């Protein structure tokens, strides 16, 4: 029995060609009954190791949570600063504990989750302290960093080549972000716009441009590699 598409000889237990997926169809040829190579649809039970590990991580985070609660409650007889601690532990759990629940953690989902958790925590702190800085400062800054990081991670994850371009571009974007931070600081906290952000901007842009140049110029890249290898 041969595959009509790719021409490979097929064992009698095959219902379609393992190389090209063509369904076996030779009505005039009699096939000998042969058992499949491996039993059909008999999957092993799913292991519990991953679940056990994520359970341990949850306990590791619950422990300081409980300690903070009792420390706050016993010293102040009411809940005062526990909310801040709980929020911070929650954010830490989202960043470090959440990946353990996934077999193959996807950074494109987890990275935005980290920023959302951080933004929510800052919003809580803003509300709890009666501050007026969240919407005008923290939210746009977090949003900007989130946008740059997500783009960076997504491009690195999917692109097999041209990573130097991505890293160089991220440096330049981060430089631009510095200007935004200073501008938002000045309008939120009424601090004079003195232009300190120009210094990191210049350094980051220069470095970013250097990386872009190296990405585009193979000879220069090799010269740098030759001098800096370790």
Partner 1 sequence: MAKNNKKSLHWVRLDNAAKIYPAARRRNWSNIYRLSATLSEMVDKEVMQNALNVTVKRFPTIAACLKKGAFWYYLQQVETAPNIQEEYSYPLVHMSKKEMKKCALRVIVHENRVAVEFFHSLTDGTGGLVFLKNLIVEYLEQKYHVVIPLGNGIVDRTASPISEELEDSFPKYAGAVPVSRKDTNAWQLYGEPLADGFLQVTCFQLSVEETLALAHAYKVTATVFLGAVMMKALLSLQNEKNPHVASQERIKLSIPVNLRQLFPSCTLRNFSMYTIPEIDPRLGDYTFEEICRVIVHKLGAENTAKYMSRVIATNVNDEKNLLVRLIPLPIKNLVMKAIFNRVGERKSCLSFSNMGKVTVPTEMEPYVTRFDFVLGVPATAPYHCGLLSFGDTFYINFIRNIKEPELERHFFGVLKEMGLSAMVESNQREESGCIV
Distance in Å, CB of 221 to partner 1, minimum: 13
The count of residues in the chain is 230
Size of the site for partner 1 (CB under 8 A): 33
- Using CB under 8 A as the binding rule, whether residue 16 contacts partner 1 is answered as yes
Distance in Å, CB of 56 to partner 1, minimum: 13
**Tokens, residue 26:** 């030779």
> How buried is residue 120: exposed, middle or buried, by Cβ count under 10 Å (0-12/13-18/19+)?
middle
Which of 30, 33, 35, 74 forms a contact with partner 1 (CB under 8 A)? Answer: 35
- Using CB under 8 A as the binding rule, whether residue 6 contacts partner 1 is answered as yes
User: How many other C-beta atoms can be found within 10 angstroms of the C-beta atom of residue 212?
Assistant: 17
- The whole-angstrom separation of Cα 81 and Cα 129 is 11
- Using CB under 8 A as the binding rule, whether residue 36 contacts partner 1 is answered as yes
Which of 30, 161, 226, 227 forms a contact with partner 1 (CB under 8 A)? Answer: 161
Which of 104, 130, 158, 219 forms a contact with partner 1 (CB under 8 A)? Answer: 104
Distance in Å, CB of 19 to partner 1, minimum: 5
Identify the three-state secondary structure at position 2.
Answer: strand
Buried b / exposed e along 76-87 (16+ C-beta atoms within 10 A): eeeeeebebbbb
Residues that bind partner 1 (CB under 8 A): 5-11, 13-14, 16-22, 35-44, 47, 49-50, 53, 103-104, 161
């Amino acid at each position: 029995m041969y595959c009509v598409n790719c021409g490979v000889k097929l064992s009698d237990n095959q219902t379609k060609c393992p190389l090209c997926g063509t369904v076996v169809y030779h009505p005039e040829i009699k096939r000998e009954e042969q058992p499949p190579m491996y039993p059909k649809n008999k999957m092993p039970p799913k292991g519990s190791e991953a679940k056990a590990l994520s359970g341990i991580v949850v306990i590791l985070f619950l422990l300081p949570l409980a300690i903070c609660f009792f420390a706050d409650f016993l010293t102040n007889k009411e809940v005062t600063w526990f909310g801040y601690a709980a929020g911070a532990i929650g954010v830490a759990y989202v960043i470090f504990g959440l990946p353990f629940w996934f077999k193959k953690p996807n950074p494109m989902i987890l990275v935005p989750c980290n920023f959302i958790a951080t933004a929510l925590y800052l919003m809580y702190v803003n509300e709890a302290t009666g501050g007026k800085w969240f919407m005008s400062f923290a939210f746009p800054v977090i949003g900007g960093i989130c946008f740059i990081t997500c783009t960076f991670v997504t491009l690195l994850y999917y692109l097999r080549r041209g990573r130097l371009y991505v890293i160089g571009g991220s440096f330049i974007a981060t430089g631009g972000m510095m200007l935004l931070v200073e501008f938002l600081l000045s309008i939120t906290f009424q601090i004079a716009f003195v232009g300190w952000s120009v210094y990191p901007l210049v350094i980051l842009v220069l470095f970013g441009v250097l990386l872009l140049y190296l990405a585009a110029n193979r000879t220069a890249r090799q010269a740098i590699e030759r001098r800096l290898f370790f």
